[in-house]
Structure 1
């Protein structure tokens, strides 16, 4: 975008709460008006944005002071590249005035003189005829060709009333389809707004209000009661009571103080804090969800593409029936009536409405579904594979006991283990560090060139080689004798404890026993999945056999558990199941789960997952528990059922219309009218069904 004022948006009309700009850049051949409208409406204070590429204008309705017009202009100037990245030119949008004019012309045409009637028929019919010719030449026999044929034959027969009426219904139908899809898109757009417009930042002991997009990492952000937290960061001063409902779904207010981490989107109920910004702008939690919603809004899912292909295959049925009727009977009315019955509409039009409405419904229940494909795949899945730690468990592992097996104290074992795990993001490492800090132990420095293997850590601490990890890592990989504690370890594993082995130089120093509580809802969720058509539930873990077996006994709804698995081995297990014909949902939370999340038919990340796990997932649960998995499954099945119902209703009704047309019971105008009415009835009913939250 240049700084030339002539190329910038220019105000051409302005009144209270409404402004219209003319902007030459809207002539851009790759303009994506839907994306630009959505991006504008994400700005706080903007109620609606409408772009007219042909008029090179954008009209914005807003609330607030007159200063908003300049802010809107600046937002247009800074519009993202995605606004001008459409592969093909966007089709022109119908306006209400177009539909009203077409309806008026069709109504008055029968009462006009023949000359005026003829002129109106050709004037209204030329556009669908040209569109049909273009479609026939470039895309083949599609629905636009049916429109062209019906209107063209009516004009040739000098049946001007029929030609005008059908042309009008095409315009009105396009307008109704457009506003239906616009309303559906607006549901998703409502989840895309920036958390705040202005952010209070403390710089040089002064409080400054800066735009959300200009906050930088390391800035100190100040939040007080009634404000939304705009960044992901750490509290450096103060304490607050926050409302976490909008992010986690948890109704209970959360008390946070100095040292606690906060994510964007929380609202402050009471108190004030200073937050050191760790993630800002597009990196924040709330904006990452917005990005997913933007992609969901703009991209066609596999099921939508498939419905388009099926609709294209159905168009020749109407054309062939009409041609056959005319050839056999010579009755043009029967042929034209058959041509107006379009099976494709009932197949094609409900799909995007149902998909996007269902995604919105799921999002309101703290389930972010990235695509319609994921929605349909989770409905068809027959096997769920869970990673154990942090998924079926709370991921809040606590140190239970430290058992030395050499002349070394428990505190020394903890110090060494904490130093080795000091850069770890694994729940086990975090628990060891937390226990050391609780006891007030000084954690020594470890060399930064530590090496990590799948099941353990090796580093140099105070001149000694310290290894921390599983028995497999310490005994099998590193060759350190663990026999001195084998009997004790076996008993502890049978009780369900997680065992972490600590070795100093070439001797085993001892073991740290740990426990991770099972999520209280886990067993109930697994049972409900079984009742909902899931045939097999499998758990994967890196734990030892005895620990895994003890865990399995606490979840009888699970079918099997596999232990001692490395991250790549978990992905291989998922691939093997897929190769056997199973449709897999993989549920995980950590960086190590990313390969499995990608390998599965549907990857689901649970609350508290790492960023990489969320990026690798097709579905993200943002609530506080696993209930979102059931919501996603039920929403998918409800969507599948709704789409099948639309297909059956559309094909059944249109088949009835086709039979009536063949029998001569319908005139072309009546056939077109009934066809359009039934199509939009199916659209409306399916949208209402999709807005209902499924019962879990």
Structure 2
């Protein structure tokens, strides 16, 4: 039972129980054979007493569980002269907890595999005069430091085959990287100087240099690790799934045992019924099934933060979507640059891209890519800061050394207008969006881009509806002229445009039927993701607040993961319920056989061990079909996965 958990000594107790059994059997072969039942019975009662203390504590907290059956069965078996049957029940308790721990570790191995791969160290390059006393005097000195010691702006050396320790910008001209741990892409990915590289990526065969743009605590892989730790350590609400049956099953068991005793007039019948009524499957099968479901989801890049989320997923009836970076790719193409008098298109795009390097915004990468496509070199910033939901501000050295540094701000118009009052909104066509740029107190211009609907969006929404989603809606901060054509093309006939974060929360809170899943990726989506029955965050770049507040984090940038998550939820709940009912049916059947005196207590206790094993093996089916696991492995080995670059978050930078 849960009281005897692996954390509190299930494995040592299994050993002690087996040792007591061995000593008892040895005593049976000696003249002191009469002491064996006393030893076995005393040990069994001691364990029952320990369980009883825990049971009472839980009852005082208002939690009724199944521990009373185990305690009563042990006490009854010892009382009627069946100490060996009582010892088998003790073995079931201790061994069941150990089996649960083993099965749980197996079922969440995909989650723990992510934790083992977290970057731990970084190689920082120091200038010769900054090296430790007595160190080398070369222009650059390599120093191995804990990843937590890396600061923004540090120059890092990433050796062949090493992990990128923090989010960084590539300084070397070229790099070949393995991004499979973040995107699921098994083929090597080429990056060029100036491109942002996420932590957790594996370098290729050539050493490269990078410049850190985020602290370890703010970098992508470390934040994924934190989310995984939260998921792996979550106390799943699934416990309640089994506990729903606890009180009625306990009452039914005691009634059957009492009737058997009353009709036969033999107290031993009472014990014989209860030793097969100790339903560890009810306590073990459900948690193992839900951990298996979480592990199966992790195999496909989905971090599910608790078993209760899987239970909600199995009953989804409504789905709400953000637009940019969720329904659309979040990687728009450059349409045109609207430069203000005194600025040219090159300077507007160059300054914007040089600042956006330090942003985790969903649109930032597109601005950087556009600058590189036009051949504009990125400028080195003196410092940078991302202002949540608004944009990014970066300082650059002035051409005149005597002048103060220039502050470039890139982001939403309402924020930039606080510093550049002359800002004018760009004229936009349907489907276009604008990113605004200001230098100090001067409005420099706007970069107009066009986003594209995800190729898989229509199929994902269709599958979601087939899985039970009756109502779909788009809830976005973008203008209606941009949002409505996209929604119409996907069959979403309910659009709420120009929504602020508080508006999204109000809309989603009123949607019926429930449960509702909200899909978003932006920092401004964090409140609505937290308010929804199920928050589904697209991508985990920069450990956005969206990822922190969501119930599910999709590490791979594809909407196909959404119906997959719902399918995993449905499969997991189905398997958990099957395992629970299997345990109940078998236990009730054995109780009825024991009630008629056909099942001695010792044999019944051993049969209950078999029931435990069957229930656990059944629950492990939630880890996923074997063919599915083989297919995933073969794709990884063959390098046939489709590349799906990871995106970041939306900050409503458009008009």
Alpha-carbon displacement from aligned partner over 1:381-422 (angstroms, at most 9, x marks no partner): 111111110111111123313579x99998499579959997
- Against the structure 1 CA distance between its residues 510 and 105, is the aligned structure 2 distance closer, same or farther, given a 3 Å change threshold? closer
Contact 2:350 2:371 in 1 (8 A): no
Written as runs of structure 1 = structure 2, the 5 A alignment for 1:204-215 is 204=131, 205-212=140-147, 214-215=149-150
Aligned to 2:553: 620
The alignment status of 1:574 with 2:508, answered yes or no, reads yes
Asked if structure 2 preserves the Cα contact closer than 8 Å seen for 1:322 and 1:335, the reply is: yes
Per-residue CA deviation, residues 313-341 of structure 1 (Å, 9 max, x unaligned), is 53343234323332343122321122113
How far off is 1:267 after superposition?
1.2
2:336 is the counterpart of 1:401: yes
Quote how far apart the aligned CAs of 1:588 are.
0.9
Counterpart CA distance in 2 for 1:520 and 1:375 is 27
Are 2:16 and 1:98 aligned?
Answer: yes
* 1:264-316 C-alpha deviation (Å, 9 max, x unpaired): 22112222211223445444322322223333333311122453464355334
In 2, are the aligned partners of 1:120 and 1:164 still within 8 Å (CA)? no
Match of 2:193 in 1: 258
1:165 is matched with which residue: 85, 99, 122?
A: 85
Cα separation, 2, equivalents of 1:137 and 1:451: 52
Distance 1:549 1:403 in 2: 25
SS state at 1:524 partner:
helix
Distance 1:265 1:138, change over 3 A: closer
Deviations 1:35-90 (A, max 9, x none): xxxxxxxxxxxxxxxxxxxxxxxxxxxxxxxxxxxxxxxxxxxxxxxxxxxxxxx4
Query: Which runs of structure 2 are paired with 1:268-667 in the superposition (5 Å)?
Result: 268-308=203-243, 310-311=245-246, 314-342=249-277, 344-401=279-336, 411=345, 427=362, 438=374, 492-493=429-430, 496-498=431-433, 513-556=448-491, 558-577=492-511, 580-607=512-539, 609-611=541-543, 612-667=545-600
Tell me, in whole angstroms, the C-alpha distance in 1 between the residues paired with 2:182 and 2:424: 48
In the alignment, structure 1 residue 671 sits paired with structure 2 residue 594: no
| Cα RMSD (Å) | 4.6
Among residues 95, 98, 108, which one is paired with 1:178 in the alignment? Answer: 98
Q: Distance in 2 between matches of 1:382 and 1:630?
A: 12
- The match for 1:152 is 75
- Do the aligned partners of 1:133 and 1:145 also contact (CA within 8 Å) in 2? yes
Residue in structure 2 matched with residue 461 of structure 1 by the alignment: none
Report the Cα distance in structure 1 between the residues aligned to 2:385 and 2:118, rounded to whole angstroms: 40
Alignment of 1:80-229 (within 5 A): 90=8, 93-94=11-12, 97-104=15-22, 114-135=33-54, 137-140=56-59, 143-157=66-80, 159=81, 162-185=82-105, 187=109, 188-196=111-119, 198-203=121-126, 204=131, 205-212=140-147, 214-229=149-164
CA gap 1:173/1:112 in 2 versus in 1, 3 angstroms: farther
Q: Is the 8 A contact 1:638 1:694 kept in 2?
A: no
2: distance between equivalents of 1:424 and 1:545?
Answer: 27
**Secondary structure of the structure 2 residue equivalent to 1:251:** coil
Query: Kindly tell me: are residues 575 and 609 of structure 1, through their superposed partners in 2, closer, same or farther at Cα, counting changes over 3 Å?
Result: farther
Task: For residue 636 of structure 1, report the CA deviation from its aligned partner.
Answer: 1.1
DSSP 3-state at the match of 1:620? strand
How far, CA to CA, are the matches of 2:437 and 2:214 in structure 1?
35
> Once the 2 structures are TM-superposed, how far is the Cα of residue 620 of structure 1 from its aligned partner?
0.9
Question: Could you say if the C-alpha distance between residues 278 and 185 of structure 1 is closer, same or farther in structure 2, counting changes exceeding 3 Å?
Answer: farther
CA distance in 2, matches of 1:132, 1:653: 24
Give, in angstroms, the shift of residue 231 of structure 1.
2.1
**Relative to 1, partners in 2 of residues 1:166 and 1:385: Cα closer, same or farther, differing over 3 Å?**
same
Structure 2: gaps spanning 5 or more residues: 132-139, 394-408, 633-655
- Contact residue 388 and residue 539 of structure 1 kept, 8 A: yes
TM-aligned CA deviation for residue 597 of structure 1: 0.9
- Residues 15-54 of structure 1 correspond to what in structure 2 (within 5 A)? 34=7
Structure-2 change in CA distance of 1:413 and 1:382 (3 Å): farther
Distance (Å, rounded) in 2 between the aligned partners of 1:512 and 1:441: 17
Note the residue ranges of structure 1 that are not aligned, 5 or more in a row: 1-31, 35-89, 458-465
Give me the whole-angstrom Cα distance separating, in 1, the residues matched to 2:354 and 2:161. Answer: 42
Checking the alignment, whether the CA contact within 8 Å between 2:118 and 2:225 is kept in structure 1 is: no
Give the structure, 1 or 2, with the largest relative contact order (CA under 8 Å, sep 6 or more): 2
CA drift at 1:674 = 1.5
Secondary structure of 1:648's counterpart equals helix
Secondary structure in structure 2 of the residue aligned to 1:633: helix
- TM-score, structure 1 normalization: 0.72
| Alpha carbons 2:536, 2:550 under 8 Å: kept | yes
Q: Distance in 2 between matches of 1:261 and 1:574?
A: 34
How far is 1:643 from its partner?
Answer: 0.9
Tell me, yes or no, if the aligned pair for 2:164 and 2:200 is still in contact at 8 Å. Answer: yes
Partners of 1:456 and 1:277 in 2: CA distance: 17
* Cα displacement string for residues 529-549 of structure 1 (whole angstroms, at most 9, x for unaligned residues): 122222122112233323222
Q: How many residue pairs align between the two structures?
A: 589
Alpha-carbon distance in 1 for matches of 2:170, 2:354? 27
Q: Distance in 1 between matches of 2:620 and 2:75?
A: 34
CA apart distance, 1:685: 2.1
Instruction: Measure, in 2, the Cα distance between the counterparts of 1:231 and 1:570.
Output: 33
2:540·2:553 contact (CA, 8 Å) conserved in 1? no
- Cα 1:177–1:498 change in 2 (3 A) is same
The alignment partner of 2:144 has SS state of: strand
Change (3 A) 1:312 1:598: same
How far, CA to CA, are the matches of 2:375 and 2:162 in structure 1?
A: 37
